[in-house]
Structure 1
């Protein structure tokens, strides 16, 4: 897949720049031709000589160097794919604003090929509203962002912000290079995130869902040509991708009404949201005061969105999710039948690195023909690709 492909790698000033050496080696080993542009600050973390040796091409840094001009327009048109890894917070801001003050930025602004980025920064920088706004903006421009990983950071803290590992980046690039457009002309509905059921104006019943899995599925569907309506519960994540229309909701009732309103017009529906099963019968109009030792809440079931869609579906492909702690397989099979779904994606809270909040997931997919396929733990973006592959197989069977 990578044989003969032309990859333009941009390396920016980040401690994660050392991973670019491993990345170049992997790309060259796969048969790709790699050229590297390095920012001046990146030279403090990795040497041009090392990158030049591994890529077998001179490393470029300045627009004007030794009385020659590095033609950024030619570079931007040469590549089959431009990869910026690591993407520092500073370069991210420049990309969002179109600031052209070095060779990398001049080339990025001239590039006619797909652009993939792998951010790397400390957790507080990653979560800052300006960083998240910049990420949303560059994705609006059509750039792809590989999700950061969680782990030990250069600051000594533990959290989100680590650049994805070179092997993960390579796998991601392969999906872009071999990008399928098998859902052009199709429309999809995806639900993601939790729902919050009000107890009073301050408190609610909810869960720990982040929305990462559903957002990854929405992105994968859009990447392959579908127009996607994403019904997103309360989440700190953004999903401003080209081809994705976001409908923000809070409660299960709102998610139910929005989903049923959209469903008749779609070809695909993926119900990945962690919808609350119960809500208070009568939420208090004012904050409940702490007067008694006990508070008794009367709860009632929320509306079953997957069941309602299963009862209404005609030619659509309907996918449900099951997150369990016990009796996982039996519950998933029962859900497949009773909800009239085409696929049920099961993940268990007993599996390490799976479930709420993680950047990875480990799933088993059940289908109506009795098939049962277990997948290894992998990044949620790759899990999303597996799920969409199964959807496509059903649509074109």
Structure 2
């Protein structure tokens, strides 16, 4: 598979904090080696982006909040070999690397937003996306995050700057929280449990705002 170094620790922390606050939580988890299932949480284990998509749309129909913390690869191999891809050593042949053709994976977050807009998810009141971003010549982390929030159409977007020992594989995190109404706030550096608490606070405030 094609992936990244995301450990799943932040998603597990969000699930654990939400359960501790009294929510009924279903955690869909993949490639989270070494992480114990959080207490009081129903855990569904998957191993591919396609399985994640199917599980999300199976369980989200009954959910009030969807938190998409998974760092899903944007591409997958078009074809998966059933046997080892061997080097060749015939006459006149070289040991050049094989060409791997890629296909886009389904955009699960955008698909959930579309389904809610189309009235297929009437119970779903909040959709929270995550963005692991880096800056480039076109703009900084927040520039790309704001564009992603607008493109995806979710209610809240948690933004992490990745690289140099940040976000992936570590026990601490920081970032920003962007809202569809234009509000932005910093998420201070601290444990991933602390960040999960801040995210839970933001979700609670968002839901209360919808009730007013």
TM-score scaled by structure 1? 0.47
Q: For the residues of structure 1 that align with 2:152 and 2:190, how far apart are their CA atoms?
A: 27
Q: Is the 8 A contact 1:353 1:361 kept in 2?
A: no
1:303-329 per-position Cα deviation (integer Å, ceiling 9, x unaligned): 001001111124421000111111321
Q: What is the CA-CA distance between 1:353 and the residue it aligns to? A: 5.1
User: Equivalent residue for 1:391?
Assistant: 203
1:62-111 per-position Cα deviation (integer Å, ceiling 9, x unaligned): xxxxxxxxxxxxxxxxxxxxxxxxxxxxxxxxxxxxxxxxxxxxxxxxxx
Aligned counterpart in structure 2 of residue 379 of structure 1, from 163, 182, 191: 191
Q: What is the CA-CA distance between 1:375 and the residue it aligns to? A: 2.2
Q: For the residues of structure 1 that align with 2:168 and 2:38, how far apart are their CA atoms?
A: 22
User: Per the alignment, do residues 300 and 240 of structure 1 end up closer, same or farther by CA in structure 2, a change over 3 Å counting?
Assistant: same
Q: Is the 8 A contact 2:68 2:109 kept in 1?
A: yes
1:27-47 per-position Cα deviation (integer Å, ceiling 9, x unaligned): xxxxxxxxxxxxxxxxxxxxx
Q: What is the CA-CA distance between 1:223 and the residue it aligns to? A: 0.5
Aligned counterpart in structure 2 of residue 354 of structure 1, from 166, 185, 204: 166
User: Equivalent residue for 1:276?
Assistant: 73
Q: Is the 8 A contact 2:65 2:126 kept in 1?
A: yes
Number of aligned residue pairs: give it: 193
Larger radius of gyration: 1
Runs of 4+ in 1 over 6 A off after TM superposition: none
Partner-residue secondary structure (3-state), 2:157: strand
Q: What is the CA-CA distance between 1:251 and the residue it aligns to? A: 0.8
| 2:131 is equivalent to residue 322 of structure 1 | yes
1:176-207 per-position Cα deviation (integer Å, ceiling 9, x unaligned): xxxxxxxxxxxxxxxxxxxxxxxxxxxx3221
Q: For the residues of structure 2 that align with 1:353 and 1:282, how far apart are their CA atoms?
A: 33
Higher relative contact order (CA 8 A, sep 6+): 2
1:252-299 per-position Cα deviation (integer Å, ceiling 9, x unaligned): 111011101111110111101110110011111111113332110000
Q: Is the 8 A contact 2:68 2:128 kept in 1?
A: yes
Q: For the residues of structure 2 that align with 1:242 and 1:211, how far apart are their CA atoms?
A: 16
Q: For the residues of structure 2 that align with 1:329 and 1:245, how far apart are their CA atoms?
A: 34
Partner-residue secondary structure (3-state), 1:375: strand
| 2:35 is equivalent to residue 222 of structure 1 | no
Q: For the residues of structure 2 that align with 1:220 and 1:338, how far apart are their CA atoms?
A: 28
User: Equivalent residue for 2:91?
Assistant: none
Q: For the residues of structure 2 that align with 1:212 and 1:306, how far apart are their CA atoms?
A: 19
User: Equivalent residue for 1:344?
Assistant: 157
Q: Is the 8 A contact 2:171 2:191 kept in 1?
A: yes
Q: Which moved more, 1:301-310 or 1:232-241?
A: 232-241
Alignment of 1:252-271 (within 5 A): 252-271=49-68
Q: For the residues of structure 2 that align with 1:242 and 1:349, how far apart are their CA atoms?
A: 29
Q: What is the CA-CA distance between 1:238 and the residue it aligns to? A: 2.8
Alignment of 1:1-397 (within 5 A): 204-291=1-88, 292-313=95-116, 314=122, 315-326=124-135, 327-350=140-163, 354-397=166-209
Partner-residue secondary structure (3-state), 2:72: coil
User: Equivalent residue for 1:104?
Assistant: none
Q: Is the 8 A contact 2:12 2:38 kept in 1?
A: no
Q: What is the CA-CA distance between 1:217 and the residue it aligns to? A: 0.3
Q: For the residues of structure 2 that align with 1:237 and 1:388, how far apart are their CA atoms?
A: 24
Q: For the residues of structure 2 that align with 1:391 and 1:239, how far apart are their CA atoms?
A: 25
